[in-house]
Amino acid sequence: MVKAGPQGLPVGDLQKQLEIPASTLSHHISSLISVSLVRQERQGRTLYCHACYEKLSALIAFLTEECCTGADGLHNTNNDVGE
């Protein structure tokens, strides 16, 4: 989903890539939406998922700073999630 960029990814395409049941995917997407890491948008009959890059970057920064302090091998802190 992150690699899809700002245009997002259709839920059906995401399900095919992950090879998981629709109900499982729906559960996980709902969890990501509830914490504002993902948003959904309907375009016609297609439901798209969009990564919320600002929130993801903030989460990565927090985890890197607070949880990985002193861990070896974590010197590259590239904050550009979209690449």
pLDDT tens column, 23-55: 999 999 999 999 999 999 999 999 999 999 999
* Domain boundaries defined on the chain: 5-67
Number of C-alpha atoms within 13 angstroms, CB side, residue 1? 22
* Angle between helix 22-34 and 11-18 (nearest 10): 120
Tokens of 61: 């920064």
Q: What is the mean pLDDT of the chain?
A: 88
The torsion angles phi and psi of 43, rounded to 5 degrees, stand at -125, 100
Confidence of residue 74 (pLDDT cuts 50, 70, 90): low
Q: Determine the topology of domain 5-67 in CATH.
A: Arc Repressor Mutant, subunit A (1.10.10)
The torsion angles phi and psi of 70, rounded to 5 degrees, stand at 85, -5
What pTM was computed for the model? 0.74
